[in-house]
Structures are given as structure tokens and as C-alpha cells.
Amino acid sequence: MKNKIILLLFLIINLTLNGFSDKKSNQKKEENLFKDYKEKADLYLSRKYFKGTPIKGEMLLNSAKKAYDSTGIIIPIELVLSQAQWESGMGLKGRSPKTNPFNIGEYGYKTVFKFKTTQEGIDAYYYLLTTKYLKCRSVDELLKNFVNCNGNRYAYGKKYEDRVKKQYYFIKKWLNENYLTNNSTHGLTIQNMDN
């Protein structure tokens, strides 16, 4: 009986320590993932074509973390950058590019949403994509037909998906060629992130 109690205590302690170790390991994986996320964003945004962009890697990181904390979804940085590039030339052109680089609520005839800061506009984009698009669709599905869970399109252009998809794969390739440190997700399984 005494040996069974000792064995039971040993198992409980071992399971507790392993659970703590797993949690710490996952936390480190998240830290590495978000570090890569910001570094990749800053690297791509530093290209000469985007000189003067109001978008910063830190802003994208802040929004990505908020979205992940509330939904468990991480929008691939390649998708974020490709949409920002097509929607506003990285916040450099359009009706309100500095504060709304993803053209949230921008229509040909009116503007529905106005944001005070670039960060506020970026937050709105991350919230919209994680709660209305990636909640029910994969990135691959969006690149074929960029519609939300209710079937509404992100943009009305007939070639929007083709343009975003082409840019998405260009950015993915460019980052793979130019990002010098380990650019893997460090073993963290991410919902809706393609391989």
C-alpha cells in the first residue's frame, strides 16, 4: 500500500512537471513565432518601394498578438503584407491610406469607417480577418475566393484573388530567400496557416 502511494505521488509530480515543461515550451515557441513575424514584416517593409510607409512591423505584431489572444488565429504575415500592398501600396496611396492601409469599409462611393491612427486601422483589419474570414475559411480558400463566412467579398475587383495570391507567393518566396534566421514556426501548430 505504501509503495502504491509513493508511486501515485511520483506519477502526479511527474505529470505536473511535464505539463509545466510543455507550457513553457509552447510559450517559447510563441515568442519565437512572433519574433519572426515582426522581423519578416520589418524586412519586407524596408524595401525601397515602401519608403515612407506608416506601417511598421511592431504595429503588425501588436495586432497579430491581440487577434491570436482573442481568436487563436494567426494571419500569415505574407497575407497581411500582400493585402496591404494591393489595398494601399503599404499605406502610401488611396483615400485614407495612412490610417486605413487595408481599406476597411472603403467603397468606391463612400468611406464607412474612419480610424484615428495607423494602429487602429491595422487592428480593425486583424479583427475583421480573424473573426469574419479565417474563422471559417483557410488561407488557400481565401486566395481562390476572398469571401467571409457570410459569403461577402473583401474587395469587388474581379481579379482581387489573383493579385493577392500572386503577391502572397512572391512575398513568401522573397522572405524565404532574404530572411537570414530560422524562419520556421518553431513547431507551433497554427490554425489556418498553410505550409
pLDDT value for 195:
31
pLDDT value for 7:
57
pLDDT value for 158:
82
Question: Is the overall model pTM greater than 0.85, yes or no?
Answer: no
108 CB-near residues (< 8 Å, 6+ apart): 156
- Helices 118-128, 57-71: axis angle to 10 degrees equals 40
pLDDT value for 112:
77
67 CB-near residues (< 8 Å, 6+ apart): 73, 74, 75, 126, 127, 129, 130
pLDDT value for 11:
57
Output the CA torsion sign for 183, 77, 30, 117. Answer: positive
Domain limits of the chain? 30-178
Q: Residue 41 gets which letter from DSSP?
A: H
d(CA 71, CA 101): 22
pLDDT value for 188:
36
Output the CA torsion sign for 112, 145, 162, 176. Answer: positive
pLDDT value for 192:
34
Within the chain, which residues score under 70 in pLDDT?
1-24, 108-110, 180-195
pLDDT value for 8:
56
pLDDT value for 36:
95
d(CA 76, CA 66): 14
1.10.20, 2.30.30, 1.10.150, 1.10.530: CATH of 30-178: 1.10.530
Grid cell at residue 102: 487595408
